[in-house]
Each structure stands twice: as structure tokens, then as C-alpha cells.
Amino acid sequence: MKKPYKYLDHTADLGIEIRGQNREDLFINVGRAIFETQITGAIRSSKERSIELTSDSLGDLIIEWCRELLYIFSVEGFIPKQYRIKIEGQSLQANLCGDEFDAKRHQVRIEIKNPTYHDFFLEEKKGKFKTRIIFDV
């Protein structure tokens, strides 16, 4: 199955271009791209986490979503596996099901620190979305 994201050549950081069939699908694929890039090992669906975010634009909401996912991983060790997302305007409600990082079962492949606005891109064509995010690593 083809992944809904691809890596971009970038000098010092990590660039990812991500696609979605709609806004919710785009945000789910952003989360998957972050954690499939960052973590290896089997992720269980044993813990739940809710997130609510509001921003000034859909682009800002994507960046805030990335920051929140990276924050809950770095502070709580939470790794999402399943995503239920609802977006209305520039507000997001997400219910996540996932796992707590366990060094016996998981390995950090690459440490993603923060999304940036450098070369950030968001496009909608016929209801489908594509974004490009450069992450500090």
C-alpha cells in the first residue's frame, strides 16, 4: 500500500509532503508520518488521549497539531496508533488511541523536535489536501 506521505530532500532537517482525501484524513496522515518516521516497534492501542486545538488558519492548525503530538510524545511518551478527528473551521477535536513508549519494545529512529514554517505549504484541490512540513531534527 502506498503511503500518503513522502520524504523530501532537505539539507539539515526533515521534509515531508503529506496528502489527505479530506482535512481529517490529512491530519491523520500527518500524525502517521511523524510517528512512523520517528518510532519503530509494535504500537499497542492501550491508552487514550484527547486533544482540542483552535488556530487562526488551517495551516496554523496543522503546525499546532504537529507541536501537540510531539509534545505529548516528549513529555508523556504517548505514541498514537489510531486517530478519530473532527475539524470544524479552524478547530480540531481528536481522540487518540495508542501506546506509551517502552524502550524494550520501541526504538527512536530519528528524534523529530519541532515543525517549522520554513517552506511550509498547504494546498486544496477538489476537496483533497496536500501539505509540506519541514521539521527540526
Please give the pLDDT value at position 5.
86
pTM above 0.75, yes or no: yes
Residue with cell string 488511541: 97
Say if 70 falls within a structural domain.
yes
pLDDT of the chain, 137 residues: tens digit per residue: 788 988 887 667 999 999 999 999 999 999 999 999 999 999 999 999 999 999 999 999 999 999 999 999 999 999 999 999 999 999 999 999 999 999 999 999 999 999 999 999 999 999 999 999 999 99
Say if 35 falls within a structural domain.
yes
Number of domains comprising the chain: 1
Say if 82 falls within a structural domain.
yes
Please report the sign of the dihedral spanned by the C-alpha atoms of residue 110, residue 116, residue 121, residue 122. Answer: positive
Residue with cell string 532537505: 10
Q: Is 97 exposed, middle or buried (0-12, 13-18, 19+ CB in 10 A)?
A: middle
Q: What is the pLDDT of residues 71-83, one digit of tens each?
A: 999 999 999 999 9
Say if 11 falls within a structural domain.
no
Of 111, 106, 110, 108, which Cα lies nearest the Cα of 42?
106
> Domain residues for 106?
23-132
Say if 2 falls within a structural domain.
no
Three-state DSSP at 43 gives coil
Say if 105 falls within a structural domain.
yes
Contact (Cβ atoms closer than 8 angstroms) between residue 35 and residue 28: no
CATH of the domain at 117: 3.55.10.10
Say if 15 falls within a structural domain.
no
Say if 109 falls within a structural domain.
yes
